[in-house]
């Protein structure tokens, strides 16, 4: 029962990274990646406090972890010492898992010989260009399996992971592509399918536009050798039992004078689930008059001089906003030039405006 309790408390996010001291830089990159993705990786130099009983802390962290990443190198597999104990304990703990569970994830850092007890686990090589995505996909798949095995009432309100939509474009030029969208598991607080569908629909609309352009007959990209990139990321402003409010960011560069930045915002009310426009949340007679008043009252001096010129571009359909209990943010990113993007977010105290 103790192990199950610990897993439920962490909601299956604990990842132990086992490595030789010589391979620390690789371990640290994995630690940073998993942290950004919402997991709780354990790495000795990051977690051990001065004066701690390191032997006890390492054993405790390893035993309580939901996943174990083993960094296998010519150094670690041949080195006598504690790293061998970590390998041994990890294999031992794997015996208590189901035969189709993903628990041990070996990563080959060089052409070392994989220890015989680890041969039954599928490994991945460090030079695989999709290594982080494949590791993340494996962990997410198993985590979803764990979460589906417990009651929806036990899943926390804000327990979610990241989701990526493939770009699926074959071009002679390499595109550095990143897609990081929130994905919510089934829970008792809101309809996760409804929420996930609208989030993916927003991103797919933009991705579809890029696919259409990049697969056109235009020769624009063929003779260029710029470091092209397309990144989709997100930020959640508010998530409680009543609302979800988030921003999706699109940043890209395919040549030209500067990168391109745009956003989508999505605001959803729960029970029943429904998307919100600004007039569903705030009372006003005229959108332009309301925004102008807010700019003049709550904007900085520079925003007052600048944003006032772009209010007429806003409509009920295209205005981007997010909110929480303290602030309403109106975002002008899609209406203003890139050189003044830093001025694009207008923050308005919620206690100073009339709510629906």
The Cα 264–Cα 331 span in angstroms is: 10
The model's pLDDT over 294-317, given as tens digits with 9 standing for 90+, comes to 999 999 999 999 999 999 999 999
Average pLDDT over residues 244-264: 91
Q: Residue 173: what pLDDT? A: 65
Q: What residues does 183 pair with on adjacent strands?
A: 161
Please work out, in degrees rounded to the nearest 5, the angle formed at the alpha carbon of residue 63 by the alpha carbons of 59 and 67: 120
Contacts of 341 (CB under 8 A, 6+ apart): 261, 333
Q: Domain spanning 152-276: which superfamily?
A: Fervidobacterium nodosum Rt17-B1 like (3.30.565.40)
- CA dist list (Å): 199 to 16, 18, 82, 146, 162: 31, 35, 45, 24, 12
pTM of this structure: 0.81
Residue of higher predicted confidence among 269 and 128: 269
CATH architecture of the region 277-356: Alpha-Beta Complex (3.90)
The model's pLDDT over 265-278, given as tens digits with 9 standing for 90+, comes to 999 999 999 999 99
Q: Which CATH class is domain 2-146?
A: alpha beta
Q: Residue 159: what pLDDT? A: 81
Domain limits, the chain? 2-146, 152-276, 277-356
The model's pLDDT over 204-216, given as tens digits with 9 standing for 90+, comes to 999 999 888 877 7
The residue with tokens 């620390």 is 24
The Cα 175–Cα 178 span in angstroms is: 10
Q: Coil, strand, or helix at residue 24?
A: helix
């Amino acid at each position: 029962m103790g192990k199950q309790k610990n897993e439920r408390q962490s909601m299956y996010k604990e990842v132990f990274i086992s490595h030789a001291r010589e391979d620390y830089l690789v371990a640290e990159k994995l630690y940073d990646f998993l942290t950004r993705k919402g997991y709780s990786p354990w790495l000795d130099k990051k977690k051990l406090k001065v004066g701690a009983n390191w032997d006890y802390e390492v054993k405790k962290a390893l035993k309580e972890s939901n996943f174990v990443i083993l960094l296998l190198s010519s150094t670690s597999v041949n080195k006598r010492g504690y790293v061998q104990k970590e390998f041994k304990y990890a294999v031992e703990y794997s015996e208590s898992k189901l035969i189709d569970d993903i628990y041990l994830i070996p990563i080959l850092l060089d052409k070392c010989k994989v220890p015989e007890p680890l041969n039954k686990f599928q490994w991945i090589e460090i030079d695989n260009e999709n290594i982080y995505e494949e590791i993340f996909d494996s962990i997410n798949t198993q985590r979803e399996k764990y979460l589906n095995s417990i009651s929806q009432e036990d899943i926390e309100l804000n327990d979610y992971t990241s989701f990526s939509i493939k770009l699926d474009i074959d071009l002679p030029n390499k595109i550095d592509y990143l897609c990081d969208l929130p994905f919510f598991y089934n829970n008792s607080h809101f309809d996760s399918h409804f929420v996930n569908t609208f989030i993916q629909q927003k991103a797919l609309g933009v991705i579809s536009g890029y696919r259409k352009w990049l697969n056109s007959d235009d020769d624009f990209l063929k003779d260029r050798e710029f470091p092209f990139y397309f990144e989709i990321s997100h930020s959640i402003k508010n998530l409680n039992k009543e609302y979800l409010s988030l921003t999706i960011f699109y940043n890209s560069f395919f040549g030209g004078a500067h990168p391109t930045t745009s956003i989508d915002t999505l605001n959803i009310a729960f029970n029943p689930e429904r998307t919100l426009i600004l007039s569903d949340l705030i009372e006003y007679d005229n959108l332009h008059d309301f925004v102008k008043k807010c700019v003049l009252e709550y904007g900085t001096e520079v925003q007052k001089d600048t944003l006032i010129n772009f209010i007429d571009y806003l409509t009920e359909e295209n205005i981007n906003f997010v909110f929480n209990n303290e602030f309403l943010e109106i975002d002008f990113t899609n209406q203003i030039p890139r050189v003044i993007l830093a001025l694009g977010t207008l923050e308005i105290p919620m206690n100073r405006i009339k709510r629906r």
